């Protein structure tokens, strides 16, 4: 068995151990503008900043940030794979994800997109931008393999850390949420943003309140903000944890 195969197996197994049920996370992403609105970021205030997009998936945020005047490093556990392998994974996960969205169409909110088809077109567009950028900028460290609850970055090495469509949405346990959020706070100099705060059924995750109390007890300033973005029911809220 080659060393590469052993490493790959270990990584997949490690990801699964944090999930309460057998649901695996999908390698799925969004466009620059969708990420900006999900997290309630204000473009004018981002100039010169360095942001970590943790659990980035194949989003085009990191690829498009430089033309808007700031830098994004994208991290994801599968960012050790090559271009062809990621492309195959993404296309198969997009198909599976949109089949799930259509099966739960009652949860879709006509706001950010007029239809699921419009969202699909936008997100496949972002995927194409990501794939071309990954090929070009992986060698210079724009895309880094990293898996919560540990991050391979120095303390305070990014102004803002964002984490989208991972925590709360998938069935992770409380300890994983605590460790992951504190780890992101360690590498963020100013703030951490988490979106959304609901479970797959569109209800606010029951651990959001207790986690905010814990963060306050550790000296952080967590706040829930309403954002101008909603794809599925209840997903218009983001947690901002200021330091």
Ligand X SMILES: C[S@@+](CC[C@H](N)C(=O)[O-])C[C@H]1O[C@@H](n2cnc3c(N)ncnc32)[C@H](O)[C@@H]1O
Residues in the chain: 243
Nearer to ligand X, 59 or 238 (CB): 59
CB of 218 to ligand X, least distance (A): 21
Shortest reach from residue 183's CB to ligand X, in Å: 10
The token duo for 49 is: 């900043």
CB 6, min distance to ligand X, A:
19
Q: With CA atoms as reference, report the closest residue to 193 among 77, 49, 84, 64.
A: 49
Q: Which tokens is 213 given?
A: 């109390």
Strand order of the β-sheet with 158-164 is 143-145, 71-76, 50-54, 158-164, 188-195, 237-242, 221-226
Q: Which is nearer to ligand X, 175 or 216 (CB)?
A: 175
Longest CA–CA span in the chain (Å) reads 51
Q: How far is the CB of 236 from ligand X (least distance, A)?
A: 14
Tokens representing 172? 């992770």
Minimum CB–partner distance for residue 37 and ligand X (Å): 11
Burial of 71: CB neighbours in 10 Å, binned 0-12, 13-18, 19+:
middle
Between 11 and 242, name the residue whose CB sits nearer to ligand X: 11
Residue 199, token pair as written in the block: 């479970």
Nearer Cβ to ligand X (29/222): 29
Interface residues toward ligand X, by CB under 6 A: 15, 18, 25-30, 54-57, 59, 76-78, 147-148, 164-166
Of 147 and 191, the one with the shorter C-beta distance to ligand X is 147
């Amino acid at each position: 068995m080659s060393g590469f195969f052993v490493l790959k197996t270990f990584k997949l197994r490690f990801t699964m151990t944090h999930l309460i049920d057998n649901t695996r996370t999908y390698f799925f992403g969004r466009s620059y503008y969708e990420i900006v609105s999900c997290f309630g970021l204000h473009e004018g205030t981002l100039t010169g900043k360095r942001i970590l997009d943790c659990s980035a998936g194949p989003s085009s945020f990191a690829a498009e940030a430089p033309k808007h005047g700031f830098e994004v490093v994208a991290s994801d556990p599968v960012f050790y794979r090559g271009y062809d392998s990621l492309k195959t994974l993404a296309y198969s996960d997009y198909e599976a994800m949109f089949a799930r969205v259509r099966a739960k169409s009652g949860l879709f909110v006509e706001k950010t997109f007029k239809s699921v088809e419009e969202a699909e077109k936008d997100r496949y567009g972002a995927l194409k931008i990501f794939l071309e950028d990954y090929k070009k900028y992986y060698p210079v460290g724009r895309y880094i393999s990293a898996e919560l609850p540990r991050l391979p970055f120095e303390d305070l090495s990014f102004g803002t850390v964002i984490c989208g469509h991972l925590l709360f949405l998938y069935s992770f346990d409380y300890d994983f949420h605590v460790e992951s959020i504190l780890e992101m706070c360690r590498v963020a100099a100013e703030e951490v943003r988490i979106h959304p705060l609901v479970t797959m059924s569109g209800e606010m995750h029951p651990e959001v309140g207790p986690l905010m109390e814990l963060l306050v007890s550790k000296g952080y300033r967590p706040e829930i903000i309403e954002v101008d973005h909603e794809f599925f029911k209840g997903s218009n809220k983001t947690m901002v944890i200021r330091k």
